[in-house]
Amino acid sequence: MADDQFPGWHGTTIIGVKKGDEVVIAGDGQVSLGQTVIKGTARKVRRIKPGGHEIVAGFAGSTADAFTLLERLETKLEATPGQLARASVELAKDWRTDKYLQKLEAMLIVSDGADIFVITGAGDVLEPEHDVTAIGSGGNFALAAGRALMDTDLSAEEVARKAMAIASDICVYTNGNLTVEKISQ
């Protein structure tokens, strides 16, 4: 959706960190409209269990659109239990080709504890090259901080928390009220 159709809405920051046998997805809680903080405690990271297989997902963008995508991902995972990569590709294909889904404004970071992917409306399913990925308005700040911290002795959760703290200090659309979900292989 063009900025002139929905002016002033700005995002969030979501980070995914894979270190050792653990994946952490963390997201801030701020929802902004223009220069106004509408809510500071939104929960943008969720744990879902389609077909008995646990998945952690974080989203940036429109909440309603993200929930629509999460529901579609759950359906794909129920059809292909335990195959997050396949379900993610199927969702991305639908998102790219379906007239209704094409209008959705959101991005997802998803993990089953073994793999971590970014799913976009452009039809991309991206696996991070350095086991850190981030999306949203503060995503680049969190990504840079997370990559810098990966060579330390910090755990995946500690890397995610520190990277989010740095992003929240820089990005005015990101706060320090975090939702953190861990998942192991």
- E strand spans, 5-100: 9-10, 13-19, 22-27, 31-33, 36-39, 45-48, 55-61
Given 12, 75, 120, 179, the catalytic residue: 12
Q: Yes or no: say if 130 and 116 are a contact pair by the CB < 8 Å rule.
A: no
How is residue 7 annotated by DSSP?
T
Is 179 labeled as ligand-binding?
Answer: no
Which is nearest to 35 in space by CA: 7, 64, 14, 63? 7
Judge whether 68 is annotated as a binding position: no
User: Does 63 participate in catalysis according to the annotation?
Assistant: no
Put the strands of the sheet holding 36-39 in their side by side order. Answer: 9-10, 31-33, 36-39
Q: Round to whole Å and give the CA distance between 106 and 145.
A: 23
Output the six-digit token pair for 33.
Answer: 């409209």
Do 54 and 113 form a contact (C-beta atoms < 8 A)? yes
Residue 92 in tokens: 């991305």
32 appears as a binding residue in the annotation: no
Residues marked as catalytic:
12
Binding-site entries for Na(+): 168, 171, 174
Binding-site entries: 168, 171, 174
